[in-house]
């Protein structure tokens, strides 16, 4: 039955009606399932739209109207969005924080352009972008008032931690992967033990160890700021996961590639730099993007160990007595920020996977 129904009625030309019919109402079971689900979806959509738009209150500072209205109170976002995005950053200087975030977003978008897909250009792009970000945020010259890391917050802090972890973690991951793959048994075994141990620990415990515990075991000169300790810990964690991804990419290479390089008399660094790693990264691109997506999402964990990232500043925005009833709206807003970044990155990853045709060379 399903086969006869899936042929469209007007022969070769598939009309829109036929396509819908084939997709949603192919068999009797499909008709029932589709109708029931459609009713549920419509009911849900109507309720959500009612809440989010029809009965909602827009515009800044309308607390009283919010309390009276049944729908969402977007007024809290209009009044407190600066807290969510910039945290404790001084009010007059918040444009700097905004511009800095924008620069990092541009850097991220630019690294999706094929022109930048080689090690040198990517390194220059990210390091210069990060440098400008840091200078803008920190200030202290060119007439910019200095703002110390303790006062950074909101989206800028999230972006800073994320970018720093990627910049530190990626080279570390390459080193880890090469050590893990070393022909010398003791080096590869020790590295394997370290990677496996760190991978089986939750990120939260790593962050906690580096933030709270490491001051006890480090000599005084090496303690540094809590923020940088967490970044180092997160970068090591990231490197351990990324190292396994790179190793997977290396293992997928045909053995002949490296053997041919050896036969040509290339040394270790030439082989690794010109033959192995470029192809390994191509193989490992989809899981690498996936890992970067996860890293960005899990940056939000720093809120637990007391940093004022976008997650914590979102809670602070609805944390005062004035707006405490509107926490759901603020959560939606923060979720939207994350969703936009993460969703576009993961869609880009899926597109890239199709385009490169990894595994179908």
332 within 8 A of 234, measured Cβ to Cβ: no
Does position 315 interact with another protein (CB under 8 A)? The reply is: yes
Does position 201 interact with another protein (CB under 8 A)? The reply is: yes
Does position 177 interact with another protein (CB under 8 A)? The reply is: no
Does position 320 interact with another protein (CB under 8 A)? The reply is: no
3 state DSSP class of 309: strand
- Could you please report the per-residue DSSP string of 246-302? HHHHHHTS-HHHHHHHHHTT--HHHIIIIIIHHHHHHHTHHHHHHHHHHHHHHGGGG
Does position 335 interact with another protein (CB under 8 A)? The reply is: yes
Of the candidates 217, 255, 263, 321, which one interacts with another protein according to CB under 8 A?
217
Q: How far is the CB of 39 from another protein (least distance, A)?
A: 10
Does position 334 interact with another protein (CB under 8 A)? The reply is: yes
- Left, alpha or beta for 242 (phi > 0: left; psi -120 to 50: alpha)? alpha
Q: How far apart are CA 204 and CA 193, in angstroms?
A: 20
Does position 353 interact with another protein (CB under 8 A)? The reply is: no
Does position 288 interact with another protein (CB under 8 A)? The reply is: no
Does position 187 interact with another protein (CB under 8 A)? The reply is: yes
Q: How far is the CB of 197 from another protein (least distance, A)?
A: 7
Q: How far apart are CA 323 and CA 60, in angstroms?
A: 12
232 within 8 A of 210, measured Cβ to Cβ: yes
Of the candidates 7, 14, 15, 23, which one interacts with another protein according to CB under 8 A?
23
CA dihedral 257, 259, 261, 267 (to 10 degrees): 130
Does position 8 interact with another protein (CB under 8 A)? The reply is: no
User: Which residues contact residue 86 at a Cβ distance below 8 angstroms, ignoring those fewer than 6 apart?
Assistant: 94, 97, 98, 153, 154, 155, 156, 313
Residue 35 or residue 145: which is nearer to another protein going by CB? 35
Residues that bind another protein (CB under 8 A): 20, 23-24, 26, 29-30, 33-34, 37-38, 41, 179, 184-187, 190, 197, 200-205, 208-209, 212-213, 216-219, 297-298, 300-301, 303-304, 311, 315, 327-328, 331, 334-335, 338-339, 342-343, 346
């Amino acid at each position: 039955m399903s086969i006869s129904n899936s042929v469209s009625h007007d022969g070769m030309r598939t009309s829109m009606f036929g396509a819908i019919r084939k997709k949603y109402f192919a068999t009797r079971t499909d008709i029932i399932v589709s109708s029931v689900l459609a009713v549920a979806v419509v009911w849900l959509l109507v309720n959500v739209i009612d809440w989010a738009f029809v009965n909602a209150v827009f515009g800044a500072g309308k607390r009283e109207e919010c309390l009276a209205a049944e729908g969402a109170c977007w007024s809290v976002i209009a009044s407190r969005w600066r807290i969510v995005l910039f945290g404790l950053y001084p009010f007059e200087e918040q444009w700097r924080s905004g511009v800095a975030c924008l620069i990092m977003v541009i850097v991220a978008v630019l690294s999706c352009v094929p022109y930048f897909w080689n090690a040198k250009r990517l390194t220059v792009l990210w390091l210069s972008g990060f440098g400008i970000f840091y200078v803008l945020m920190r200030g202290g010259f060119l007439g910019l008032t200095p703002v110390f890391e303790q006062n950074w917050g909101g989206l800028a802090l999230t972006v800073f931690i994320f970018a720093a972890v990627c910049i530190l973690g990626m080279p570390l991951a390459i080193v880890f992967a090469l050590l893990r793959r070393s022909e010398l048994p003791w080096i590869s075994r020790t590295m394997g033990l370290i990677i496996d141990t760190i991978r089986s620990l939750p990120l939260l415990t790593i962050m906690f160890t580096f933030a709270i515990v490491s001051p006890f075991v480090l000599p005084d000169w090496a303690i540094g700021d809590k923020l940088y300790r967490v970044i180092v810990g997160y970068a090591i964690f990231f490197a351990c996961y990324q190292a396994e991804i790179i190793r997977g990419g290396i293992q997928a290479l045909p053995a002949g590639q490296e053997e041919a390089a050896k036969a040509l008399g290339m040394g270790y660094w030439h082989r690794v730099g010109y033959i192995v790693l470029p192809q390994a990264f191509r193989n490992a691109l989809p899981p690498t993007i996936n890992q970067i997506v996860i890293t960005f999402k899990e940056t939000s964990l720093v809120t637990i160990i007391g940093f004022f990232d976008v997650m914590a500043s979102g809670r602070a925005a609805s944390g005062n007595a004035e707006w405490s009833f509107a926490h759901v709206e603020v959560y939606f807003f923060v979720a939207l920020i994350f969703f936009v970044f993460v969703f576009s990155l993961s869609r880009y990853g899926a597109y890239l996977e199709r385009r490169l045709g990894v595994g179908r060379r």
